[in-house]
DNA sequence: CTGTTAGCGCATTCAG
DNA sequence: CTGAATGCGCTAACAG
């Protein structure tokens, strides 16, 4: 059946095909205006035209205006490739996400970090280039792209360890700032980095539980080959060591940051028969699982067992009971990421090569 | 309190600062290997080295190996800026999202489209560059970036009309393919485009309702200055005109694609007192609102009133009752977007300048 | 203040 | 098959 809002043959009614630019052509044939042509039209030399278009130092008012008019009339667009070639920099930086696009769009972490990066870069004139690097092939292509001077520097978001990207980029001479404390084999990275104070945040969470009279505080830890998982467990250990003297190893269960693993972790802890009056989960997702298990066992939160999470992810304030959780200033981390990279690009010698930003926590109903 | 997992002064323990590359320096001083150096090391001329590194036509086996070895030893990385300058193309295309980053990460549409684009480009050697263009300043910068030959072409995702970007880019000589049928002032665009068959999808939805014996089919339409909103209403009109002879204007309510507007739209329709046995909402979000209103009025879905949505967004299968809705092949649209742009870049004259992809629908409980 | 000059690093002519 | 020469478009140093 014919649908009136479209043409029968599914092609548009416009006829602009003829001015489609053929990209195959090599030198010549392209009549895009060059600086040379602008200079000629303005009646000045290329040098003067260039100066006029770049800040206009040492250019007479008259020449300035002539060049600007000529550029506007010709629709002049500076060839950035030529500019990059002579300047040795492209004025653009990459935000590389070494992650599946699945998680990219589902994990609010990326959204907030990107927002922070983006806002810090606003008005700087530096172009932000987002890039996906999901497998070795793409990682190689990215290194080629960046090392080929298309990117002055790279912001790398990557939580999969070990990730060869930081080293590969640095080896290629590209300055990198990583979101996340390096651990594992790439500890030898020369990259700068910024991370949340996972350790301190976890410690504070446990200290808060202690201040509320809890004594037998268990934890469902995250993946230990990720610094976030390792550090959060570390924080729990520190606080517990201070509070309990010795380390209650049997109050630790290991998960993988997922809700299901939180569920299983809680079951495992309860099954050990040791008294427990609080559970600190290393992620909100795991905390959800913990809550589920406790509900199922008929245990009251926070009366019987208090629960704390980590991340303050969307939904944490609406679960039952609302989750008390550690918050990271992700936007701020994004902004710091940018500042550090720009410092590195400027060659500032006194800049910090790594930054740990403090976390806080929000108290809701669960603890 | 000291946290053992980090240094006291919050700086890393690594000492790689001295080999940080100073980006300020201009010509000279940088010892990154050039093709010239590779050629010298291999004992051949620049020309031969270049040929060897690019496919190796007209290069002896011996020279080939010598060049490859030299390149590997020196850690040679071709300067892509120089390459772009001489070739007139950068081998990279932009995926420009003219949208707030808020929506970018929350709307599953972007995720699926990006996935499609990304998958189609995999292995092509073409670099995908994601870019945000949220305001005029950023739009200008993007045009400069693309027109400066950093991007061979652009894929544009933009549902805000009117958007000056397609025209601005085409004027600057950058081929553009837009996701979404152009409407409004930029109808004069020379951009190619791809869109879902919103009109046909809506028509099929209504026809399905008719086939189920529904006769008084109302609609909550979407924003009319967006082609999706306009076309979906158009589809409803076409089907209703065929089924009812005349057009029942009083069965139309207007919303803005939001859940709240769906709620209000349904209330408005019911308040008119005309008999209604089905409601077609132009988006799932509005359908959720419609369901809410119907529930509140004590009306049974689908017994009293059938409901259909549009989009099949995550959550549609879990609402009460599960939503029967029109689905768009978004991933496929992403893939087509890429194919069209590549065709345009190759200057293929026989390529379609616009494509409309058929939609389908999933039947669940609500209709 | 201005025009001229010399490259940036590369792919591709064109003679050998 | 190879080397030498040319120019892509631009900026910055230089001498006027």
Q: Is the pLDDT of residue A28 over 60?
A: no
Contact call for A347 and B20, based on CB within 8 A: yes
What's CA B111's distance to the chain center, in Å?
8
Q: Is the dihedral of CA A113, A115, A121, A126 positive or negative?
A: positive
**Closest nucleotide to A54 by C1' from CA:** D11
Q: Is the pLDDT of residue B172 over 80?
A: yes
Q: Within 7 Å: CB of B30 and strand C?
A: yes
Residues of A in contact with B188 (CB under 8 A): 14
Q: Within 7 Å: CB of B82 and strand D?
A: yes
Q: Is the pLDDT of residue A331 over 50?
A: yes
Q: Which of A170-184, A223-237, A278-292, A332-346 has the lowest mean pLDDT?
A: A170-184
- Report the pLDDT value the prediction gives residue B184, as an integer from 0 to 100: 62
Q: Is the dihedral of CA B198, B199, B203, B206 positive or negative?
A: positive
Note the CA–C1' distance, A91 to C1, in angstroms: 29
Mean pLDDT of A36-56: 92
Spell out which residues of B between 42 and 101 contact strand C, using CB within 7 Å: 46-47, 50-51, 53-54, 76, 78-79, 82-83, 85-87
Of all protein residues, which has its CA closest to the C1' atom of C11? B86
- Report the pLDDT value the prediction gives residue B186, as an integer from 0 to 100: 54
CATH assignment, B92-196+332-358: 3.40.50.2300
Q: Which residues are bridge partners to B307 per DSSP? A: B279
Spell out which residues of A between 57 and 86 contact strand D, using CB within 7 Å: 76, 78-79, 82-83, 85-86
Strand order in the sheet with A324-327: A252-254, A217-221, A278-281, A306-310, A324-327, A360-362
Note the CA–C1' distance, A86 to D14, in angstroms: 17
Mean pLDDT of A182-192: 71
- Report the pLDDT value the prediction gives residue B261, as an integer from 0 to 100: 95
Contact call for A12 and B354, based on CB within 8 A: yes
**Closest nucleotide to B39 by C1' from CA:** D3
Q: B198-328, which class in CATH?
A: alpha beta
Report how many Cβ contacts below 8 Å link chain A to chain B.
250
If you write DSSP's letter for every residue of B63-115 in order, what string do you get? HHHHHHHHHHHHT----HHHHHHHHS--SEEEEEE-S-HHHHHH-HHHHHHHH
Q: What is the mean pLDDT of chain A?
A: 88
Quick check: helix, strand or coil at residue A192? strand
Going by pLDDT thresholds of 50, 70 and 90, the confidence category of residue A99 is confident
Mean pLDDT of A84-88: 95
- Please give the residue that has the higher pLDDT: either A42 or B28: A42
Contact call for B238 and A4, based on CB within 8 A: yes
CATH assignment, A13-78: 1.10.260.40
Please give, rounded to a whole number of angstroms, the shortest distance from the CA of B362 to a CA of chain A. Answer: 20
Mean pLDDT of A277-289: 96
- Please give the residue that has the higher pLDDT: either B318 or A280: A280
Q: Is the pLDDT of residue A25 over 60?
A: no
Going by pLDDT thresholds of 50, 70 and 90, the confidence category of residue A21 is very low
Q: What is the mean pLDDT of chain B?
A: 88
Residue-wise pLDDT for B74-92, tens only, equals: 999 999 999 999 999 999 9
Give the phi and the psi of residue B29 in degrees, each rounded to 5.
Answer: 85, -30
Q: Is the pLDDT of residue A9 over 60?
A: no
Q: Is the pLDDT of residue B67 over 90?
A: yes
Of all protein residues, which has its CA closest to the C1' atom of D9? A82
Q: Which helix (H) or strand (E) holds A305?
A: none
Contact call for B149 and A79, based on CB within 8 A: yes
Q: Is the pLDDT of residue B183 over 60?
A: yes
Contact call for A231 and B5, based on CB within 8 A: yes
Cα separation, B244 vs B235, in Å, equals 14
Please give, rounded to a whole number of angstroms, the shortest distance from the CA of B299 to a CA of chain A. Answer: 28
Q: Which of A106-120, A121-135, B351-365 has the lowest mean pLDDT?
A: A106-120
**Closest nucleotide to B50 by C1' from CA:** C11
Residues of A in contact with B349 (CB under 8 A): 17
Q: Is the pLDDT of residue A31 over 80?
A: no
Cα separation, A190 vs A205, in Å, equals 32
Cα separation, B90 vs A81, in Å, equals 9
Please report, for residues A117, A128, A154, A311, B57, the alpha-carbon distance to residue A124 in angstroms, rounded to integers and kept in the order given. Answer: 12, 10, 16, 30, 44
Mean pLDDT of A245-254: 93
Cα separation, B150 vs B333, in Å, equals 25
Going by pLDDT thresholds of 50, 70 and 90, the confidence category of residue A3 is low
Q: Is the pLDDT of residue A98 over 90?
A: no
In chain A, what are the domain boundaries? Answer: 13-78, 92-196+332-358, 198-328
CB atoms within 10 A of CB A174: 26
Note the CA–C1' distance, B83 to D1, in angstroms: 24
Going by pLDDT thresholds of 50, 70 and 90, the confidence category of residue A187 is low
Q: Is the pLDDT of residue A27 over 50?
A: no
Cα separation, B53 vs A82, in Å, equals 22
Residue-wise pLDDT for B94-103, tens only, equals: 999 988 777 7
Report, in ranges, which bases of strand D sit under 7 Å from a protein C-beta: 1-5, 7-13
Shared fold status for A92-196+332-358 and A198-328: yes
- Report the pLDDT value the prediction gives residue B206, as an integer from 0 to 100: 97
Q: Which of A264-273, B143-152, B219-228 has the lowest mean pLDDT?
A: B219-228
> Pick from B79, B132, B200: which is nearest to A149 by CB?
B79
């Amino acid at each position: 059946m014919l649908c009136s809002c479209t043409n029968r043959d599914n092609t548009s009614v416009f006829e602009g095909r003829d001015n489609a630019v053929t990209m195959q052509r090599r030198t010549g044939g392209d009549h895009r205006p060059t600086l040379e042509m602008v200079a000629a039209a303005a009646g000045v030399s290329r040098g003067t035209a260039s100066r006029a278009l770049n800040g206009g130092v040492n250019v007479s008012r008259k020449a300035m205006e002539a060049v600007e008019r000529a550029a506007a009339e010709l629709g002049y667009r500076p060839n950035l490739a030529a500019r990059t070639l002579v300047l040795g920099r492209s004025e653009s930086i990459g935000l590389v996400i070494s992650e599946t696009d699945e998680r990219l769009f589902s994990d609010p972490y990326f959204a907030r970090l990107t927002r922070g990066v983006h806002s810090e870069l606003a008005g700087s004139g530096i172009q932000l280039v987002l890039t996906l690097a999901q497998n070795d092939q793409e990682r190689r292509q990215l290194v080629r792209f960046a090392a080929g001077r298309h990117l002055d520097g790279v912001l790398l978001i990557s939580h999969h360890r070990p990730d060869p990207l930081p080293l590969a980029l640095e080896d290629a001479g590209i300055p990198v700032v990583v979101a996340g404390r390096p651990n594992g084999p790439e500890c030898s990275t020369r990259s700068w980095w910024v991370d949340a104070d996972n350790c301190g945040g976890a410690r504070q969470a446990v200290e808060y539980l202690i201040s509320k009279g809890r004594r037998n505080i268990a934890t469902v830890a995250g993946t230990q080959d990720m610094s976030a998982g390792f550090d959060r467990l570390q924080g729990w250990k520190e606080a517990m060591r201070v509070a309990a003297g010795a380390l209650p190893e049997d109050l630790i269960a290991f998960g993988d940051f997922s809700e299901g693993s939180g569920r299983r972790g809680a079951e495992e802890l309860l099954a050990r028969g040791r008294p427990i009056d609080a559970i600190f989960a290393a992620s909100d997702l795991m905390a959800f699982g913990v809550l589920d298990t406790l509900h199922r066992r008929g245990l009251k939160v926070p009366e019987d067992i208090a629960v704390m999470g980590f991340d303050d992810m969307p939904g944490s304030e609406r679960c039952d009971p609302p989750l008390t959780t550690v918050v990271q200033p992700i936007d701020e981390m994004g902004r710091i990421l940018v500042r550090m990279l720009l410092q590195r690009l400027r060659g500032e010698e006194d800049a910090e090569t790594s930054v740990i930003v403090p976390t806080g926590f929000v108290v809701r109903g669960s603890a």
